């Protein structure tokens, strides 16, 4: 059916309802048959990784939260997310056959074996190490397990690791400086794991132009790895990428120590499977995401775990984004970004987090089908969020928000926005200087409780929302884009941000 025809029918239907009062008799459509819904089922649960695996034990069966459907009681037309693009975050989620279940109040990730003893050892055993001095225009190939001390200054030089799948390679950066035009400074093609360890020195790696591919491999970062990499040490590593990513890994990345300064035109740190941080000092300036973890072909991975470290992040898009779970147990964070923290399930158990954001401070949205309902959960720590003016939310969930403990301080127009349940079970929540005893639901961004009929004819509630009104009292609500009335945003045809 053409959009213009559909719109005309809807307008006529709505006018009929407004004039006859029949709207109140129409019940929501059952959405249980929604093909995008995921149910947790113990017989389907499976463990997908040995390091940092998610809990897949079923605690309850839940359907994906998609809203009431139909002419919802509060005046929404269609699903809670609206008739148009507002529901797209669920339909665009990365598919997964694995079901991940998070038990509220418990660690979302199994963190018991994420970091090995060698991962956390900040100085390398140099007793059998080989020393390599970089030189201009040279590709240094490392093909077997061992410890290699890298030193010197060079242009257009690449340290290429192409070892066996069971080999562990450790690169010890000892005052090395590499500036390349179009290829990674460090390129890990194959290894069981590659350690990049800094001595008490300053090391500089940069790529100044667009990357050349390596056959079918799009090498798009100053440090590019196809296998797991671990960063540790006691020195400083400065990474600069003029046109692309700082660090890119097709498996997992760990940081346990060291000092890092990363400036990048795209993601500063990106991985497919996971990013795990237990320590280190990070100053990141990204024109995209500071940390990004995603495998667009596997929705069961893409988790981020942080238990320590100091982070000074400036990002044009997201500060830290995970596909599945983003869990913070500790660390100090100063994040300035469009969105500070993002994932399908965001769990904050500790740490001191300060976020200045222009879109959402913390956002839980449908990024994978592996988790049935997005959620933001606070179990500890101190979180401070300062929001820009406009259609912004400090804590936004396309599912549930749980505050079980911790201290949350918010400055902004919209504090909490959730499509499911909002629970204040403990902790201290202060919004604009006022201590809360329950979580408000701002529902900002259009549509919502006005929509088609709602509480004031075609318009929103009490004439306060829905600019460009078609109806409502004094014509201020209705089909307009703004606030809680009309076609716009959450309850109508428009896009929910």
pLDDT tens-digit series, residues 405-415: 999 999 999 99
The answer as to whether 183 is a domain residue is yes
Cα 52 to Cα 191, 228, 303: the distances in Å are 20, 14, 9
The answer as to whether 279 is a domain residue is yes
The answer as to whether 453 is a domain residue is no
**What's the average model confidence in pLDDT over 132-159?**
98
**What's the average model confidence in pLDDT over 213-240?**
95
Confidence of residue 454 (pLDDT cuts 50, 70, 90): very low
**Predicted local confidence at residue 264, as pLDDT:** 98
Q: Give tens-digit pLDDT for 377-388.
A: 999 999 999 999
The total number of structural domains that make up the chain: 1
The answer as to whether 130 is a domain residue is yes
**Predicted local confidence at residue 438, as pLDDT:** 97
Q: Give tens-digit pLDDT for 240-276.
A: 999 999 999 999 999 999 999 999 999 999 999 999 9
CB 110 within 8 A of CB 52: yes
The answer as to whether 266 is a domain residue is yes
CB 352 within 8 A of CB 330: no
**Predicted local confidence at residue 131, as pLDDT:** 98
Give the residue with greater pLDDT, 96 vs 176.
176
Pairing of strands 428-431, 434-435: antiparallel
CB contact set of 473 (below 8 Å; sequence gap of 6+): 456, 457, 459, 462, 463
**What's the average model confidence in pLDDT over 40-47?**
34
The answer as to whether 410 is a domain residue is no
The CB-side HSE value for 95 (13 A sphere, CA atoms) comes to 4
**Predicted local confidence at residue 6, as pLDDT:** 40
The tokens for 360 are 């959402």
**Predicted local confidence at residue 89, as pLDDT:** 57
Query: Taking 50 as the threshold, does the pLDDT of residue 403 lie above it?
Result: yes
The answer as to whether 229 is a domain residue is yes
**Predicted local confidence at residue 448, as pLDDT:** 38
Taking all residues of the chain, what is their mean pLDDT, rounded to a whole number? Answer: 80
The answer as to whether 259 is a domain residue is yes
Query: Taking 60 as the threshold, does the pLDDT of residue 446 lie above it?
Result: no
**Predicted local confidence at residue 217, as pLDDT:** 87
Query: Taking 60 as the threshold, does the pLDDT of residue 55 lie above it?
Result: no
Q: Give tens-digit pLDDT for 311-340.
A: 999 999 999 999 999 999 999 999 999 999
Query: Taking 70 as the threshold, does the pLDDT of residue 392 lie above it?
Result: yes
Query: Taking 90 as the threshold, does the pLDDT of residue 435 lie above it?
Result: yes
Q: Which among 339, 373, 377, 376 is positioned nearest to 355, based on CA atoms?
A: 339
The CB-side HSE value for 330 (13 A sphere, CA atoms) comes to 9
**What's the average model confidence in pLDDT over 144-155?**
98
Rounded to 5 degrees, what are φ and ψ at 89?
-65, -30
**Which residue range forms the structural domain that includes residue 154?**
114-288
Give the residue with greater pLDDT, 228 vs 483.
228
- Between CA 260 and CA 267, with CA 264 as vertex, the angle to 5 degrees is 95
Give the residue with greater pLDDT, 159 vs 481.
159
Q: Give tens-digit pLDDT for 81-129.
A: 333 333 445 778 999 889 999 999 999 999 999 999 999 999 999 999 9
**What's the average model confidence in pLDDT over 128-143?**
98
Confidence of residue 442 (pLDDT cuts 50, 70, 90): confident
**Predicted local confidence at residue 57, as pLDDT:** 37
Give the residue with greater pLDDT, 184 vs 216.
184
**Predicted local confidence at residue 92, as pLDDT:** 83
């Amino acid at each position: 059916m053409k959009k213009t025809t559909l719109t005309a029918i809807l307008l006529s239907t709505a006018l009929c309802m407004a004039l006859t009062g029949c709207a109140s008799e129409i019940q929501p459509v059952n959405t249980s048959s929604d093909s995008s819904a995921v149910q947790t089922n113990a017989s389907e649960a499976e463990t997908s990784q040995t390091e940092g695996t998610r809990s897949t034990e079923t605690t309850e069966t839940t359907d994906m939260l998609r809203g009431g459907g139909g002419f919802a009681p509060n005046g929404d037309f269609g699903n809670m997310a609206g008739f148009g693009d507002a529901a797209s975050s669920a339909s665009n989620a990365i598919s997964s056959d694995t079901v991940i279940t998070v038990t509220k109040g418990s660690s979302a990730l199994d963190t018991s074996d994420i970091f090995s003893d060698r991962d956390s050892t900040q100085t390398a055993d140099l007793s059998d190490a080989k020393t390599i001095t970089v030189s201009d225009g040279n590709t240094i190939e490392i093909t077997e397990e061992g410890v290699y001390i890298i030193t010197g200054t060079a242009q257009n030089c690449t340290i290429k690791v192409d070892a066996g799948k069971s080999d562990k390679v450790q690169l010890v950066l000892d005052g090395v400086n590499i500036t390349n035009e179009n290829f990674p400074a460090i390129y890990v093609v194959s290894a069981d794991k590659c350690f990049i360890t800094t001595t008490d020195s300053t090391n500089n790696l940069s790529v100044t132009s667009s990357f050349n591919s390596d056959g079918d491999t799009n090498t798009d970062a100053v440090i590019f790895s196809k296998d797991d990499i671990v960063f540790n040490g006691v020195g400083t590593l400065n990474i600069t990428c003029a046109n692309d990513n700082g660090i890119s890994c097709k498996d997992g990345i760990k940081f346990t120590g060291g000092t890092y300064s990363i400036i990048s035109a795209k993601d500063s740190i990106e991985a497919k499977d996971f990013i795990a941080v237990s320590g280190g000092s990070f100053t990141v300036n990204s024109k995209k995401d500071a940390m990004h973890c995603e495998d667009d072909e596997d929705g069961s991975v893409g988790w981020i775990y942080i238990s320590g470290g100091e982070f000074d992040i400036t990002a044009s898009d997201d500060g830290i984004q995970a596909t599945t779970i983003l869990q913070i147990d500790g660390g100090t964070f100063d994040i300035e970004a469009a969105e500070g923290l993002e994932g399908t399930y965001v769990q904050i158990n500790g740490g001191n987090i300060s976020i200045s954001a222009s879109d959402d401070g913390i956002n839980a949205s449908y990024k994978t089908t592996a988790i049935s309902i997005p959620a933001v959960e606070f179990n500890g720590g101190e979180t401070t969020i300062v929001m820009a003016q406009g259609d912004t939310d400090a804590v936004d969930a396309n599912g549930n928000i749980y505050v079980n403990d911790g201290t949350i301080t918010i400055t902004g127009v919209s504090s909490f926005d959730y499509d499911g349940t909002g629970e204040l079970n403990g902790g201290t929540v202060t919004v604009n200087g006022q201590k809360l005893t329950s979580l408000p639901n701002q529902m900002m961004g259009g549509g919502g409780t006005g929509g088609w009929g709602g509480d004031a004819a075609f318009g929103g509630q009490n004439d306060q929302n829905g600019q460009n009104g078609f109806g409502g009292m004094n014509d201020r609500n209705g089909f307009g884009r703004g606030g809680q009335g009309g076609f716009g945003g959450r309850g109508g045809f428009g896009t929910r941000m």
